[in-house]
Amino acid sequence: MRTPAALVALALLAAACGGTAATKTGTQTGAPVTGGTFTFAISADPGVLDPATGLLSVTNQVLAFAYDTLVGTGADGKVVPGLAEKWQVKPDSVTFTLRRDATCSDGAKLTPSDVADNVNHIADPATKSPIYGVLVPIGMKAKADDAAGTVTLSTPKPFSFILESTQTMFIVCGKGVKDRSVLAHGTSGSGPYRLTEVVSGDYYTFKARREYVWGPGGATAKDLPETVTLKVVPNEQTAANLLLSGTLNGATFYGPDRARVEATPGVIKNVLSYGNGQFFYHQGDDRPTHDPAVRKALTQAVNLKELAGIAASGTGRPASGLILDPRPCQGDTVAGHLPAYDQAAAGAALDAAGWRAGADGVRVKDGKRLTLRYVYPTTRGSGVQAAAEYLAAAWKKAGVEVKLNGIIDAKLAESLNVTQDWEAIWLPIAVTLPTQLVGFLSGPAAPKGANFAHLANTRYESLIAQASEMSSAEGCKLWLEAESALFENGDLVPVVENTILAAGKGATFTMTAGSVVPTSIRLTQGG
């Protein structure tokens, strides 16, 4: 079974949520044991734990232990029951009948009103939730009928994937519904674990809820480890050392330590798809990258094939779209929609756009230097660092002054939504539905909305407007065309489909999009 796991990818999700096909990772020797502690490495501190603000993939990994969703996804990609035992779908609404036995970690019964309060809270403009328009569709409202045990989610007009969108909505219940301040550093959910201890920047400890019997596909807490510790380990080399010594039961690897772990006997490994390595251009009115001619020239100046090999340390695959497998809409949206590598053409295009070489080689227009602040996450392995240096060198040859700024995930989110101190940014985003990208790629610009790059692609907006009113199957052609329109306009550049190595020792567990499925964890003897 699979549970939501984001924005990857943040780095993002964010938007992180969703996943790839579930893959079992861990030792295959030894019998399962009850009790004990499972320790897993996370690459950064998750920050604020309120699901309404859960934009980072690391945040959503932590939240997955404490919260449930209305429905889940089976190994075949189909929707399966979660907190909801059945549902009725219409083009502009979906009505869920909830299970009667689900309870919150404080003992309170989960009610339809809890579900409605979650959705309406996120949709409330006063909340300023970064997942509104991403995980919760714009205009969605919820109405509960506690007596009937149902809750109806509706949108102002037909919405593609209205049922599937609920696979990524964590449901707060109990005391957290009435006082969301408790969610800053605590949890209040119906999930298989209860958060018991937090040491920010160090570890997050959970205890199993043995009464949990309402997991997706019938999952329970019967055989789960008594304790789960998510340990913050930003350095991949340290994570590898801790795993191989037996201090950790699981970790994921992007960079050079991946090969060392993979070659070690007694560790079971699986290679998982993990969303794209890609970069965005900031299109604010005051930025040089507001001009599509500049964005195209900057893209032409880079050998994307070489960049892909560097960024993924030779472990990636050619990027073919923005949505994680299994994709609801099949097709390659990247091939033929990015400008070919041509340094001479890039220089000519910048000349034509009015950016002429200055005395020190840096291009100037109207007295302003062509300067790009390039931001990238430091938690994505040495390949992303090397990719940043490669990009800087390629753009310098084109006459661009590049200022590199590597930051941790929490600061990355701040840079996206608050400070906006960048012109180009390396930002993996992992989502399972094309509708989850809409808030990031259109609509109100940050800080008023989730559109962090200030995109205004009218062709993309027109295509998604048409596709959104069709059923998911009917709209697929338009959803695919919309993705390609982003690449043609130089809004973002998909470089490589990332893979990660998921490694386990002394335990078995299933992973989706780089996140552990909590109900899948089993400790083993002899591992």
Question: Beta partners for 363?
Answer: 357
* Sign of the torsion formed by the C-alpha atoms of 379, 381, 382 and 386: negative
Local confidence band at 31 (pLDDT 50, 70, 90 cut-offs): low
Local confidence band at 7 (pLDDT 50, 70, 90 cut-offs): very low
CATH number of 23-271+502-524: 3.40.190.10
Query: How far from 277 is each of 40, 80, 104, CA to CA, in Å?
Result: 24, 30, 37
State the average pLDDT over residues 415-430: 89
Q: 3-state class of 136 per DSSP? A: strand
Taking alpha carbons only, the member of 64, 43, 53 closest to residue 512 is 64
Instruction: Using the predicted structure, report yes or no on whether residue 306 has a pLDDT greater than 60.
Output: yes
State the average pLDDT over residues 332-358: 97
Highest mean pLDDT among 41-45, 382-386, 487-491, 516-520: 487-491
pLDDT at 15: 29
CATH number of 274-500: 3.10.105.10
State the average pLDDT over residues 431-441: 88
State the average pLDDT over residues 176-188: 96
Lowest mean per-residue pLDDT among 42-51, 232-241, 251-260, 392-401: 251-260
Instruction: Using the predicted structure, report yes or no on whether residue 123 has a pLDDT greater than 90.
Output: yes
At 398-412, the pLDDT tens digits run: 999 999 999 987 788
Higher pLDDT, 301 or 80: 301
Local confidence band at 428 (pLDDT 50, 70, 90 cut-offs): confident
CA distance between the termini of the chain? 23
Local confidence band at 25 (pLDDT 50, 70, 90 cut-offs): low
Segments making up each domain of the chain, as ranges: 23-271+502-524, 274-500
Local confidence band at 430 (pLDDT 50, 70, 90 cut-offs): confident
Q: Greatest CA separation found in the chain?
A: 76
At 487-521, the pLDDT tens digits run: 999 999 999 998 889 999 999 998 876 679 999 99
Local confidence band at 32 (pLDDT 50, 70, 90 cut-offs): low
Mean per-residue pLDDT of the chain: 90
The CA distance from 115 to 210, in Å, is 23
Single pTM value for the model: 0.76
Q: Which one-letter DSSP state was computed for residue 486? A: H
Write the secondary structure of 318-362 as one string of H (helix), E (strand) and C (coil).
CCCCCECCCCCCCCCCCCCCCCCCCHHHHHHHHHHCCCEECCCCC
At 208-228, the pLDDT tens digits run: 999 999 998 889 999 999 999
pLDDT at 90: 92
The CA distance from 314 to 32, in Å, is 36
State the average pLDDT over residues 404-422: 87
pLDDT at 13: 45
The CA distance from 441 to 461, in Å, is 9
Q: 3-state class of 371 per DSSP? A: strand
Taking alpha carbons only, the member of 165, 151, 171 closest to residue 66 is 171
Local confidence band at 9 (pLDDT 50, 70, 90 cut-offs): very low
Higher pLDDT, 15 or 163: 163
63, 69 contact by CB (below 8 A): no
pLDDT at 490: 97
Taking alpha carbons only, the member of 141, 85, 130 closest to residue 110 is 85
